């Protein structure tokens, strides 16, 4: 139980936003034959990549704590779109 206290709240927030973006993408453009869990790793990875790219470039748009939400969502959407086009 103490392990959860060691993880910063920004990590939890980033995971939640990545999951929400993945499920919203599935609800809007997903296929019935694909599970919503198919899009989950692509949403999380894209959100992580977008947030890391923003931090590397020094962009600080729509920061919530340490998380750059705008670029994270853009990264997640790019990752989800690529997954949808390549694997669908």
The domain limits of the chain are 33-88
Global pTM? 0.88
> 67: which strand partners?
64
Q: Residue 1: its pLDDT value, please?
A: 65
Grouped pLDDT means (10 residues each) for the chain, 88 residues: 83 93 90 80 94 90 88 95 87
What sign for the dihedral angle of Cα 33, 36, 42, 47?
A: positive
Q: How far is CA 57 from CA 18, 35, 50, 53, 75, in A?
A: 21, 34, 11, 6, 14
CB atoms within 10 A of CB 73: 21
């Amino acid at each position: 139980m103490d392990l959860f206290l060691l993880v910063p709240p920004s990590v939890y927030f980033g995971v939640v936003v990545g999951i929400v973006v993945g499920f919203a993408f599935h609800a809007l453009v997903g296929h019935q034959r694909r599970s919503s869990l198919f899009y989950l790793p692509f949403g999380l990875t894209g959100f992580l990549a977008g947030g890391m790219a923003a931090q590397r470039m020094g962009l600080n748009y729509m920061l919530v704590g340490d998380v750059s939400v705008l670029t994270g969502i853009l990264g997640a959407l790019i990752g989800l779109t690529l997954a949808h086009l390549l694997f669908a």
